């Protein structure tokens, strides 16, 4: 019987934790519906006696982790993270990513940069041939002059929509706004990233390029594929 979306998320989250999290590690906790299952599995390991020091990519993940008895510290209290496990909104064949539909892209990118091995967990619905074909690209911007920032974003070839929540602009944990930028497809992600990053008012973008050490993909048939392993076999 084929797994539903929730079952796939739970499966890949638990496989990632059991494969990559070892006793004594410092661990980054991602954000989102798939990462929730990962945090719950880490909570089980802590109950079994694992000594883990964790940092979270969002207030939401931090609160969940603390409720499960997980030790959560500020990122600046540790010099690096051994592993971070987080979700993604799109994954292309080269393990390049779009993240940020959950609104935590800024903290997610800072945590990823402090991590030795960034592990991405997703179900097969997140696989795309080219980034931007399914999901919009989230871009976090300062509130000041954000309409002018939107205009500059749209000059890159997208339709930029201010993210709303309950009739008001969505505000990130960093106090900023997010524009969801819809492209037909992102043909040159590295070039686009450099173009977006120089726009005044942009805080961070949701392109996570050359970030993932491995991407684990859950499939409806109950299997989990390591994209890193698959790419390594192709190169042999």
Is the pLDDT assigned to residue 1 strictly greater than 80? no
Q: Do 99 and 107 touch, CB atoms closer than 8 A?
A: no
> What is the rounded CA–CA span in Å between residue 56 and residue 39?
10
At 182-217, the pLDDT tens digits run 999 999 999 999 999 999 999 999 999 999 999 999
Cα–Cα dist 222/89, whole Å: 20
Residue of 163, 150, 43 whose CA lies nearest to 102: 163
DSSP annotation string for 172-190: -TTS-EEEEEE-S--S-HH
Active-site option among 14, 62, 90, 108: 108
For 42-80, what is each residue's pLDDT tens digit? 999 999 999 999 999 999 999 999 999 999 999 999 999
Instruction: Give me the pLDDT at residue 236, please.
Output: 74
Domains of the chain: 5-127+210-235 (3.40.50.1360), 137-204 (3.30.70.260)
The closest alpha carbon to 140, from 86, 185, 85, 102, belongs to 102
Question: According to the model, what pLDDT value does residue 48 have?
Answer: 96
8 Å CB contact between 146 and 162: yes
- CA distances to 23, 47, 59, 88, 213 from 72, rounded to whole Å, are 15, 15, 11, 22, 23
User: What confidence category does residue 234 fall into, taking pLDDT thresholds of 50, 70 and 90?
Assistant: confident
Is 108 a catalytic site residue?
yes
pTM: 0.95
Q: Which pair of tokens denotes residue 164?
A: 């709303």
């Amino acid at each position: 019987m084929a797994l539903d979306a929730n079952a796939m998320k739970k499966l890949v989250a638990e496989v990632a934790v059991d494969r990559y999290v070892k006793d004594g590690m410092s661990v980054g906790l991602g954000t989102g519906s798939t990462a929730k299952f990962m945090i719950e599995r880490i909570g089980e390991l802590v109950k079994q006696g694992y000594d883990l020091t964790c940092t979270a990519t969002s207030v939401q993940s931090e609160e969940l982790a603390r409720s499960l008895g997980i030790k959560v510290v500020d990122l600046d209290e540790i010099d690096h993270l051994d592993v971070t496990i987080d979700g993604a909104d799109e994954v292309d064949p080269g393990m390049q990513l779009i993240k940020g539909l959950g609104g935590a892209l800024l903290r997610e990118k800072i945590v990823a940069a402090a991590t030795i091995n960034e592990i991405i967990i997703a179900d097969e619905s997140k696989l795309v041939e080219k980034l931007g074909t399914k999901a919009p690209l989230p871009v976090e911007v300062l509130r000041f002059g954000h309409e002018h920032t939107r205009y500059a974003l749209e000059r890159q070839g997208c339709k930029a929509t201010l993210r709303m929540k309950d009739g008001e602009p969505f505000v990130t944990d960093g106090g900023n706004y997010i524009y969801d930028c819809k492209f037909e497809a992102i043909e040159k992600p590295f070039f686009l990233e450099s173009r977006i990053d120089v726009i005044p008012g942009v805080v961070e973008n949701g392109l996570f390029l050359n970030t993932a050490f491995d991407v684990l993909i859950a499939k409806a048939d109950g299997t989990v594929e390591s994209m890193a392993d698959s790419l390594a076999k192709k190169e042999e």
